[in-house]
Structure 1
Amino acid sequence: MMPTVNGGRGQSGQGRYALTESEHGHVWGVCAEVEGLFGEPGRATYELFGWMPDGAEVRGWVGSGVWLVPEDRTIDPWLLEDAESLRQPPRTDALVLTGMDDYMGPPEGHRAPVRVHDGYRWLGSCREFGRVLPGEQAAPSLVLRGLSAGDRLRQALATGTRRALELGEARLEIRDDGGEPLTDRLLRPTRIRAWRPSSHGADLIDLELDEELERPVPGHARPIWNRWLAGPPETPGLWAGLDTRQREAWLELVRERGCRLKHQGRPAGQQYQLDGRHITDTPSLFLALGEAVNGPGGYFGGCVDALADCLRGNFGYTAPATLLWRDVAPAREHLSHVLTPEGEPYDLVALVLEVLAEGHMRVTFA
């Protein structure tokens, strides 16, 4: 007997995941566990020949965004996301970086010298680089375990034809254990590969899809996801003890959740307080701002442009208001001399203050 969709949300992750049809939003089914959501995305490898560091040796995780800037400035810089430094090849002067190219990728055939920075400081330069694409590996398909199937899915499985098993563009909608929207992942095209009875309970199935995630959630972000899947934080600053890489993962979920919530507009004249003690990098600046305006786990922009959008409304803020920024010194120390993609220095704190002023949020310091 094929199961039916129930309203199971809330306890122990029941109904955390819903497979929905993108165009009309009907639910194919809900389940508590998805295999294939977590994993390591494919990473390109860059070998930077003739590497000349600008300071300390580049080791381990380098940054969430590392920019490669052609020294002749004839073409735009390009981005390597979540960059890591591998062990330097023996008897060479090369630096080896791995990471994920942005959607444009590097320019074809570029052989001129390149400078490299991580958004905060120049790391060094090289005379040229080589790029190796990740090898073709069969990514694990998505398996929705313990799925409670909806009527349309039950009908498709009963029909069993190739056409019936083509679900088209779908979304994996993800909720926390309280049933609140957290994030989603787009799946296209989506085809059912197999299904079988599930050990998770009577009348439940394990549904295997041909689709795999283009960018699965990496291992370093898994503890952050597990924390948020249990529900939003009840106290502010739980991100403060994380490193920059994990703060980025925390901010990503804050952003995706915040853009799905319906925020109640507050009356004008509100007074907010920002705890600046732990602002030592870009994600912490926006995490602290979000919690100042919208409470623990709150979102109020993940970059300068998004902050400006939030100040225009729909994210709980009504102008004018006042923000008391406590302990601004850490932010000024770490973020008053950051770099644009082209490597030009600017003051991020001053820019944020300017945007807040334009949004009629008066800032005072303590």
Structure 2
Amino acid sequence: MQFRITSETENGDPEETLALCAQAEAYYVDPPYPARHHYELRDCAPEGQLASAAAKAQNDGSAPLGLLTLRALDRNGKRVEPIWDVWCLGDARVLNVRPSFGDRTLVDITVEGREDIVAAGVNEQPEIPEVPPLFQGFHLYGRDEEPWGSCRQVALIDKQPEPDPIPLRLLRCEPSGRLLAALESGDDQFDLGGAYLCPLDRMGRAIEEHWTCLHVESWSYSTPGTGQVDLTLNVSCDDFRTAGAREAHELWTAGPPTEPNLWAALGTAGRAAWSRAAQSNLRARPTLDALPGAAYHLDGRYVTDVLAFSLALGEAVSGPGGYFGSCFGTIEYCLEENRGVQRPFTLVWDDHHIARTCLGPSPLTHDASPTFEQILEFFAKHEIEVLLS
């Protein structure tokens, strides 16, 4: 599989190709699991599941807890509004409980976990949660906002080193533009800056594109005298480099699929990559001039989660490999842009009972996936008649 690096030009012209690469090493790798640190919740009054886990840890040595969320309490002991200070610890586990030194009615609880910026909804969070002076500590919550008590302070008592990122190697690259200029300058390392990184199908079309910041850690000539180089890159954002994405991309190597439901055998990461590929290939698909009142059949046999629903909807409207949004917001955008449909129209949802059973928030994940009934309400709001079969 070939790969390409492209960059936007300063004057807004079409993208400039920086490198066309014959192959890659370590492009598809699952990211290393984040380090797990030890924290102490000091002067803690546990409630609910936290209290149960603390009791279990005293008997068994440790106890699973799940997602732990902390929010600051103001000087009156009330939760700060608006919530600007959310701090989350994922996959938390209680390791130890002992009476608090300052107040024997409270306890100090040692927990192990990893920082969870996704659950917190931020790009980064501090090493430990902090509150302004005179604030009274933190209110503790579980995954579903259930109260788990409070604590006055959080301390980091054992910090483990974060795993090193896995560098990406692009081989037998033909450099051009500012990449070629940087190589000719003779520097061993340099920042390439923001660029699009994408795998290509056999026709040289991008399967999907990812905007990321690239740092060239090292480079060498592939074969002396050819001008081709091997690049070792540090990628700032690499959540697209999963083993599941490889499975999806292999199904796109011959171009956009011609059979429906090829995505159904993929796992979560593969389906996410399929959705991105479908969106990236929108321009390559012909736009059908549909008339109002048309009917579309949604194959519901594999709609076991909201991602599968969006993939099935895309194929119902636009055929195999089609895209019609991945959430309510993007579906609404596709409707406004008349992406292959005109309202009002009818959606015939075959085997709908599978989605009715499976859709909705999962108690094991931190998400807000819509229920089957909420999807029907969304369609009704947008002049889409749904026939269930």
Q: Same fold (TM over 0.5)?
A: yes
Residues 223-238 of structure 1 mapped to structure 2, 5 A cutoff: 223-231=246-254, 232-238=256-262
Q: How far apart are residue 305 of structure 1 and its match?
A: 0.9
The equivalent of 1:147 in structure 2 is: 173
Distance verdict in 2 for CA 1:247–1:155, change over 3 Å: closer
Give the gaps of 5 or more residues in structure 2.
Answer: 57-62, 73-77, 98-108, 132-136
Matched, 1:206 2:229: yes
The equivalent of 1:28 in structure 2 is: 18
Relative contact order, CA 8 A, sep 6+: which one is greater? 1
The number of residues matched between the two structures is 333
Amino acid at match of 2:18: W
The equivalent of 1:10 in structure 2 is: none
The equivalent of 1:172 in structure 2 is: 197
The equivalent of 2:294 in structure 1 is: 270
Looking at structure 1, the residues matched to 30 and 369 of structure 2 have their Cα atoms a distance apart, in angstroms, of: 36
- Please identify, of 67-76 and 167-176, the stretch whose mean Cα deviation from structure 2 is larger: 67-76
Larger radius of gyration: 2
SS of 2:347's equivalent in the other structure is strand
Pick the aligned partner of 2:380 from 357, 361, 364.
357
Q: How far apart are residue 278 of structure 1 and its match?
A: 2.9
SS of 1:181's equivalent in the other structure is coil
Looking at structure 2, the residues matched to 233 and 133 of structure 1 have their Cα atoms a distance apart, in angstroms, of: 47
Amino acid at match of 2:237: E
Native 8 Å contact 1:69 1:114 kept in 2: yes
Q: How far apart are residue 265 of structure 1 and its match?
A: 3.4
Amino acid at match of 1:52: Q
Per-residue CA deviation, residues 284-305 of structure 1 (Å, 9 max, x unaligned), is 2222222221223322111111
Looking at structure 2, the residues matched to 115 and 307 of structure 1 have their Cα atoms a distance apart, in angstroms, of: 32
Looking at structure 1, the residues matched to 265 and 21 of structure 2 have their Cα atoms a distance apart, in angstroms, of: 32
SS of 1:257's equivalent in the other structure is helix
Looking at structure 1, the residues matched to 138 and 188 of structure 2 have their Cα atoms a distance apart, in angstroms, of: 51
Per-residue CA deviation, residues 158-178 of structure 1 (Å, 9 max, x unaligned), is x33449976443322332334
Give the gaps of 5 or more residues in structure 1.
Answer: 1-12
Per-residue CA deviation, residues 174-224 of structure 1 (Å, 9 max, x unaligned), is 32334332222334365573222259xx93633325542432445453443
Amino acid at match of 2:142: V
Distance verdict in 2 for CA 1:106–1:137, change over 3 Å: closer
The equivalent of 1:247 in structure 2 is: 268
Per-residue CA deviation, residues 238-286 of structure 1 (Å, 9 max, x unaligned), is 34345xxx32541344135314422413322331111223323222222
Looking at structure 1, the residues matched to 195 and 142 of structure 2 have their Cα atoms a distance apart, in angstroms, of: 39
Looking at structure 2, the residues matched to 166 and 105 of structure 1 have their Cα atoms a distance apart, in angstroms, of: 22
SS of 1:113's equivalent in the other structure is strand
Native 8 Å contact 1:166 1:190 kept in 2: yes
Amino acid at match of 1:283: L
Distance verdict in 2 for CA 1:134–1:41, change over 3 Å: farther
Amino acid at match of 1:172: L
Native 8 Å contact 2:175 2:229 kept in 1: no
Amino acid at match of 1:361: I
Amino acid at match of 1:43: P
Identical counterparts, % of pairs: 21
Native 8 Å contact 1:187 1:211 kept in 2: no
Looking at structure 2, the residues matched to 273 and 314 of structure 1 have their Cα atoms a distance apart, in angstroms, of: 18
Per-residue CA deviation, residues 25-81 of structure 1 (Å, 9 max, x unaligned), is 221221132235334157364768668179999x99x8xxx7847496532585979
Q: How far apart are residue 323 of structure 1 and its match?
A: 0.5
Q: How far apart are residue 312 of structure 1 and its match?
A: 1.2
Distance verdict in 2 for CA 1:329–1:189, change over 3 Å: closer
